[in-house]
Amino acid sequence: MSETRSDADCAASWCTDDPWCGLTCAVDVLGHKWHPVVVHRLLARGPLGFGDLADDIGAVTNKVLSETLADLEAAGVVDRTVVDDRPVRVEYSLTDDGEALAPAIEALQDWGERYLDD
């Protein structure tokens, strides 16, 4: 449905023709306190509800988790699905773009683990 993604679709719209444009775009999406963690949890555990995510992550407030999920949804990395039960549940899952983040998430985690284990 989406044709070519415009520069404006990337928060790094200030980066136009630099060789590192893709990099800044990716860091714009992941470079926040909880954004990479949410993607990590969805990669590891599959689709999760809001409360499940909150419980899993622990030290995040509902306001910030909500904003984080909204950001990731706006970026096209996360899908939000309302499951019409009673009470209503909402399920968050990764889009294809979200799943495609797996190698980057792993590379970052590998580096960080080695770094902390020096």
Partner DNA sequence: CAGAATCCTAAATGATACTG
Partner DNA sequence: CAGTATCATTTAGGATTCTG
* Interacting residues with DNA (CB under 7 A): 32-34, 49-52, 59-64, 66-70, 80, 87-90, 92
Q: Where are the strands (E) in the chain, listed by range?
A: 48-49, 78-83, 89-94
β-strand partners of 82: 90
List the one residue out of 33, 32, 43 whose CA is nearest residue 97. Answer: 43
- Check binding of 37 to its own copies (CB under 8 A): yes
Q: Which of DNA, its own copies, none has residue 4 at its interface (CB below 5 to 8 Å by kind)?
A: its own copies
Q: Which two tokens stand for residue 61?
A: 């407030």
For DNA, the closer of residues 67 and 97 by Cβ is 67
Q: What does the alpha-carbon distance between residue 94 and residue 101 come to, in Å, rounded to a whole number?
A: 10
For its own copies, the closer of residues 43 and 89 by Cβ is 43
**Using CB under 8 A as the criterion, what x/- string covers residues 60-99 for binding its own copies?**
-------------------------------------x--
Are residues 69 and 21 in contact, defined by beta-carbon separation less than 8 angstroms? no
Are residues 46 and 33 in contact, defined by beta-carbon separation less than 8 angstroms? no
* Residues that bind its own copies in the complex, under the rule CB under 8 A: 2-5, 7, 9-10, 12, 14, 18-27, 29-33, 36-37, 40-41, 44, 58-59, 97, 100-101, 103-118
